[in-house]
Homo-oligomer: A and B are copies of this chain.
Amino acid sequence: MKTVGLFPNLLKKNSARVANVIINWFQEKNYRVLLPDNAIKALDNTSSRLENGEIFDKIDIAVTLGGDGTLLNLARQLAPYEVPILGINMGHMGFLTEIELPDLYRDLELFVENKYFIDTRMMLEAQVVREKHILEKFITLNDAVVTKGPFARLIRLKVFSNGAYIDTYPSDGLIISTPTGSTAYSLSAGGPIINPDMELLLLTPICPHTLRSRSIVLSKDDIIKIQVIAEHPDTMLTVDGQQGYRLLPGDEVIVKKSDYRTRLIRIKKRSFYDVLRKKLTEVNFKE
């Protein structure tokens, strides 16, 4: 019997109702359904209580209910488990989620009939290094972003690729993104769009105070080092716009391709460009 982990974004309207529908649907198809602790409470569900971390190695697929942000958040946590993710969308069309609610039953049916394929996405690993010690490691699907704090007038980010000096960016910050992340924060900062099937690193400065700064595309094998030159201790490393870590002057952030990948379940042969054209004319392409 296959096991599904269901991860609803309980802040989304109707998500509890739709979650119960999905639980029933999978159970009728003889799937076991596991829920994270917070969802069990919210849904009045009687499943055995499990922490997120306990669920991850018990499930064969993960289903998210919410938007791209919900999926992004799970993808980071799930990365080491190699579990494919099926995103059910409850808001604006997304780059990552796959099933729109009106197609819910039809698409789930196709899924259980194995009529799907896996869309594998490169991830990043970001390490915080202080005085030669790795203090923290993050896995990220979209981007690792170093930004100045609100009270800093100036931050300088000195950037190296495989030890070779690239440049020093006096700026509001710097984005290192995957192809998947190229349509997120990097796009707001003026970066190019990368076909998400590719594997490469994209470096985009945020409001650089030097006109010679442009986005740079680097090899997936390049190891990027960012040295923080700042006066104030309020520089931040932010991962997928969701997790933060406070950096001190002199800290280094090392960003490289992760050994992990996100596996997105795709039911339709949807073209990236079809989604792109639609998203880019939306009032907010990050929703």
Contact = CB atoms under 8 A, between A and B. Distances in A.
Interface of A: 69, 147, 149-151, 153-154, 161, 164-168, 170-172, 179, 182, 185, 187-195, 197-198, 200, 202, 206-212, 214-219, 222, 234, 236, 238, 241-242, 244, 271, 273-274, 276-277, 280-287
A192 B211 contact: no
A274 B165 contact: yes
8 contacts: A161-B273, A165-B271, A167-B276, A198-B217, A198-B218, A200-B217, A209-B287, A281-B283
A145 to B, nearest CB: 11
Contacts of A234: 150
A192 B177 CA distance: 14
A192 B209 contact: no
Contacts of A209: 187-188, 284-287
A161 B195 CA distance: 11
B217 A193 contact: yes
Contact of A151 (B69, B214, B219, B244): B244
Nearest to A216: B193
A215 B211 CA distance: 13
A286 B166 CA distance: 20
Nearest to A279: B212
A241 B209 CA distance: 13
Contact of A198 (B69, B150, B185, B219): B219
Contacts of A236: 150
Given A198-B219, A283-B170, A211 B208 contact: no
A171 to B, nearest CB: 7
A241 B188 contact: no
Given A171-B188, A192-B217, A195-B217, 16 more contacts: A150-B238, A150-B244, A164-B271, A165-B271, A170-B283, A182-B217, A188-B209, A193-B214, A195-B216, A198-B200, A198-B217, A198-B219, A200-B200, A211-B285, A217-B217, A281-B283
Nearest to A283: B210
A167 B273 contact: yes
Highest count of chain B CB atoms <10 Å: which of A164, A188, A216, A286 = A188
A167 B277 contact: yes
9 A-B pairs with the lowest CB-CB distances in the bound complex, closest first: A192-B215, A212-B280, A188-B207, A209-B286, A170-B284, A194-B217, A192-B192, A211-B211, A166-B273
Pick the most buried of A154, A170, A207, A222: most chain B CB atoms within 10 A of its CB: A207
Contacts of A241: 153
A238 B147 CA distance: 17
